[in-house]
Amino acid sequence: MSKIDYLFDQQHIWHPYTSMKHPFPVTGVQSAQECELILENGQRLIDGTSSWWSCVHGYGNEHIISTMKQQLETLPHVMFGGITHEPAVSLAKQLVEMTCEPLTKVFFADSGSIAVEVSLKMAIQYWQGRGKPNKQQIATIKHGYHGDTFAAMSVCDPDNGMHTMFDAILPKQVFTPSPTSSFDDNTNVTSDLAKLRSSFEEHHQSLAAMILEPIHQAAGGMYFYHPDYLAGVRKLCDEFEILLIIDEIATGFGRTGKLFAYEHANVTPDLLCVGKALTGGYISLSATMCTDEVAAGISDSPAGVFMHGPTFMANPLACSAANASLELINSNEWQDQVASIETQLKEELAEAKQFSAVKDVRVLGATGVIEINRSLSAAILQPHFLELGVWIRVFGSVIYIMPPYIISKSQLTKLTTAMKQVAKMLSEENITSTQHFLSHG
């Protein structure tokens, strides 16, 4: 196996959210198996992120790999315009069955960001078909994240969404404060919904849809809000004739303990975005689903068709991976796995509450979070996590893990121990440099 050319990487390859003048240090991964990343130097790291929340079945899953190999040999790709194929039809059937009524229509795309773009275009075009072309704005809540493409950026948190430099040219959307009621406490739900009602009363004539992450706001800060808030959002959207778009890209397929996070609130959306775990993280694919009514409105619009068609839409190889991944999900083993992870996270992370730098500790399903009372530097903390034999990426002020569902108890304990050790060190001293941190590690 060829060695990684780190110098070329540093000089020519742009990694996510990094500077080419001051590139973030990278870790060379040679292979992966189950819940471990195997580095070029032979070190094994327990993956606490599921490769950005996608590899829920772990690495090297034989069912997914064998399914993809068979598809690769028969039809790795074909355009989807005027053509269909069995993997796409089978996947659409599975998605319609899993989400149930009223989500009956499926549009395939390449990534989560594009699924969001598609949902926003669908919402706006729907109202054109219903004779209300002025409804072109989107409502959302703060602390949300929906992707890095243009329309998706416009509905990310306006202050902490990483996109403030584009404010002048992004579409102007309507933001409401994020809910203050935690997952386990609905005390503030009434006041939270009152703020949303006030916003809808002012803007509903121009609002095509509201988009939000259900229950679990991920990249916006790993916040978990009460299901009653989402139930109230559904009622307000119906009252004010606003479509509800639910972004399940990070949460879909079991992450919160329900198959889809919106099930915590016993609601269904008008449009649904899924991705990440859709293929088990083995290849990129996303989907936007909608109701018969939304599809009819789009078809009744002046264009008569939905004007979107990615080159790799419904790629057969990706659809085959998704079919295999959803077959594993449908086996329902994930339910016991996620419940066990949640119980262990609650037990093992509770200790971190005693550390002075810790602002909050929270757990939902297979996600565990230690929030620190100040911003954290991934560049400073990453080397220490590597020394501890884990792959954990901090962002903002949170140390979090979203591990594969197949993780063992001992592996999960190694992750939580690393989280607590870093939280303890951050409480004992002000870490200002990588060298200083490691010298005390």
Catalytic member of 47, 126, 142, 145: 145
CA angle (337 as vertex; 334, 339 as ends), nearest 5: 105
| Residue 112 in marked binding region | yes
- How, if at all, do strands 243-247 and 174-176 pair? unpaired
What the block records as the tokens of 342 is 């949640």
Give yes or no: 300 in active site. Answer: no
What the block records as the tokens of 110 is 């390449």
87 touches 316 (CB < 8 A): yes
Nearest CA to 286 among 320, 311, 243, 318? 318
Catalytic member of 105, 121, 135, 276: 276
DSSP-based three-state secondary structure for 438: helix
Give the number of residues written for the chain.
441
Give yes or no: 126 in active site. Answer: no
Quote the CA–CA distance of 342 and 334 in Å, as a whole number.
12
What the block records as the tokens of 267 is 């609601």
CA angle (156 as vertex; 155, 158 as ends), nearest 5: 100
How many CB atoms sit inside 10 A of residue 133's CB? 14
Quote the CA–CA distance of 390 and 417 in Å, as a whole number.
10
| Residue 113 in marked binding region | yes
| Residue 276 in marked binding region | yes
What the block records as the tokens of 441 is 């590690």
Quote the CA–CA distance of 197 and 182 in Å, as a whole number.
20
Compute φ and ψ for 139, nearest 5 degrees. Answer: -100, 150
- How, if at all, do strands 367-372 and 398-401 pair? antiparallel
Quote the CA–CA distance of 15 and 13 in Å, as a whole number.
6
Quote the CA–CA distance of 339 and 336 in Å, as a whole number.
5
Catalytic member of 5, 6, 17, 167: 17
| Residue 311 in marked binding region | yes
Give yes or no: 400 in active site. Answer: no
Catalytic member of 192, 247, 258, 420: 247
- How, if at all, do strands 286-291 and 271-274 pair? antiparallel
What the block records as the tokens of 189 is 């739900």
DSSP state of 34: B
How many CB atoms sit inside 10 A of residue 244's CB? 24
Quote the CA–CA distance of 118 and 87 in Å, as a whole number.
21
Which amino acid would we find at residue 412? L
How far is C-alpha 438 from the chain's CA centre?
31
Quote the CA–CA distance of 289 and 355 in Å, as a whole number.
44
Residue with tokens 């416009």: 154
Binding-site residues, in ranges, read 52, 112-113, 145, 247, 276, 309-311, 393
Annotation: binding site for substrate: 52, 145, 276, 309, 393
Residues annotated in a binding site for pyridoxal 5'-phosphate: 112-113, 247, 310-311
Catalytic residues: 17, 145, 247, 276
